[in-house]
């Protein structure tokens, strides 16, 4: 059975029911409000939507009826321990935990939170907050560092990997109690040469794991694509990345650890498709080579940028979805071989989910 597509945008959350050739875009929930993250919990079917209200702060809502109605629930609270500590700006990512009722949230400014009651209340993960390296985390895109990737090992949920822009890849082996830096082999062009391989300065834009082979993690990094075969301890750069090495998004094939998709853009100071031609690239050989998949995508004159949570693949590994800051939304069938535009008139798209 096909999944619905959840589209979190700058002006609302669109819940698109599956259609054969004619997907429809219904009226959004939260019309006019920025939706920064969306989550479907397959255990109970609940939907979660994080709002970043321009005036009134971050709010989190849960729906028990597929999006027909929403209830405001709890939000993470950042501690104020010294002058300059800022309040919560955004929930950047949400993840389903292993234990009943457990959810995880990654935030801007960078922190990890755990809820044991389906989001009614949130607890700061102290083990990560208190690492001394946090003092040297830097903003990446936003003024403050942010935590955007939460990867939980499906077979051993005590093992977690998170990524921070900019603060590297962090690993836990005890369910979030203690954390250490992973990410050996990541390379930062924006640092002095002697620090280029410092794990703590790496700006991974997104981490994505292969569900069936969770030791394999793909990283779209600020200046390259990297692959880990050891759960994030170490990475090898995909030097074949083309037409550029810059991008935000990566989608990992759920069953095949050699396959992943990316959405390249020119570079950090020019965040548009290379030569105006929007492409998704795919490797099927572990990064040795990449192919460009552009059928159905704009062949020229495109200024679309795909944010880090706006490229995804479904549980079968065959259907992709991609949304852009220009408000274009596509479905990619047959592993991205053919793309179909669902709408060219949406607000800027922040995140997608199948549900």
Partner 1 sequence: MVTSMPRVSFTPNLRRHLDCPTVDAPGATVRAALENVFAGNPRLRGYLLDEHGCLRRHVTIFVNDAPAADRVTLADPVGEGDDIFVFQALSGG
What is the rounded CA–CA span in Å between residue 31 and residue 53?
Answer: 12
Annotate 26-37 with three-state secondary structure: CCCECCCCCEEE
Q: How far is the CB of 88 from partner 1 (least distance, A)?
A: 6
Enumerate binding residues for partner 1 (CB under 8 A). 53-57, 59, 72, 75, 77-78, 80, 85, 87-88
Q: How far is the CB of 58 from partner 1 (least distance, A)?
A: 9
The DSSP string of 63-106 is ESSTTSS-EEE--------STTPPPP-EEEEEEE-SSTT-EEEE
Nearer to partner 1, 49 or 75 (CB): 75
Q: How far is the CB of 12 from partner 1 (least distance, A)?
A: 12
277-292 burial, b for 16+ CB within 10 Å, e for fewer? ebbbbbbeebbeebeb
Nearer to partner 1, 125 or 169 (CB): 125
Nearer to partner 1, 112 or 217 (CB): 112
Q: How far is the CB of 173 from partner 1 (least distance, A)?
A: 30
Nearer to partner 1, 122 or 226 (CB): 122
Question: Which residues, in sequence order, are CB contacts of 178 under 8 Å at separation 6+?
Answer: 127, 172
Nearer to partner 1, 81 or 99 (CB): 81
Q: How far is the CB of 36 from partner 1 (least distance, A)?
A: 15
* CA pseudo-torsion sign 266, 270, 276, 278: positive
Decide: 164 and 137 in contact? Cβ < 8 Å. Answer: yes
Q: How far is the CB of 166 from partner 1 (least distance, A)?
A: 24
* CA pseudo-torsion sign 27, 32, 36, 39: negative
Nearer to partner 1, 72 or 117 (CB): 72
Q: How far is the CB of 27 from partner 1 (least distance, A)?
A: 16
Nearer to partner 1, 8 or 111 (CB): 111
Decide: 322 and 302 in contact? Cβ < 8 Å. Answer: no
């Amino acid at each position: 059975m096909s999944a619905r597509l959840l589209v979190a945008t700058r002006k609302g959350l669109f819940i698109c029911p599956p259609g054969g050739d004619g997907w429809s875009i219904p009226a959004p929930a939260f019309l006019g409000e920025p939706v920064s993250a969306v989550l479907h919990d397959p255990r109970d079917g609940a939907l979660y939507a994080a709002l970043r209200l321009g005036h009134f702060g971050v709010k989190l809502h849960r729906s028990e009826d597929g999006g027909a109605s929403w209830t405001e629930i709890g939000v993470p609270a950042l501690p104020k321990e010294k002058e300059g500590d800022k309040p919560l700006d955004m929930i950047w990512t949400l993840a389903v935990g292993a234990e009943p009722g457990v959810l995880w949230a990654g935030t801007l400014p960078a922190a990890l939170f755990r809820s044991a009651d389906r989001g009614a209340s949130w607890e700061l993960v102290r083990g990560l907050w208190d690492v001394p390296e946090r003092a040297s985390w830097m903003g990446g895109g936003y003024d403050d560092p942010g935590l955007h990737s939460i990867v939980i090992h499906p077979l051993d949920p005590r093992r977690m990997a998170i990524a921070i822009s900019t603060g590297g890849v962090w690993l836990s082996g005890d369910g979030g109690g203690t954390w250490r830096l992973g990410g050996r082999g990541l390379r930062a062009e924006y640092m002095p040469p002697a620090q280029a391989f410092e794990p703590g300065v790496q700006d991974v834009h997104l981490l994505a794991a292969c569900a069936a082979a969770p030791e394999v993690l793909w990283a779209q990094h600020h200046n390259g694509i990297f692959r880990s075969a050891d759960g994030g301890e170490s990475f090898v750069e995909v030097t074949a990345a083309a037409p550029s090495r810059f991008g935000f998004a990566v989608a990992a094939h759920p069953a095949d650890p050699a396959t992943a998709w990316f959405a390249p853009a020119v570079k950090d100071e020019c965040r548009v498709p290379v030569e105006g031609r929007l492409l998704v690239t795919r490797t099927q050989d572990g990064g040795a080579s990449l192919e460009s998949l552009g059928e159905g995508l704009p062949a020229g004159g495109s200024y679309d940028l795909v944010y880090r949570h706006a490229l995804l693949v479904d549980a079968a590994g065959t259907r992709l979805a991609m949304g852009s800051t220009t408000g274009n939304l596509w479905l990619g069938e047959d592993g991205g071989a053919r793309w179909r535009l669902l709408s060219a008139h949406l607000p800027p798209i922040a995140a997608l989910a199948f549900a």
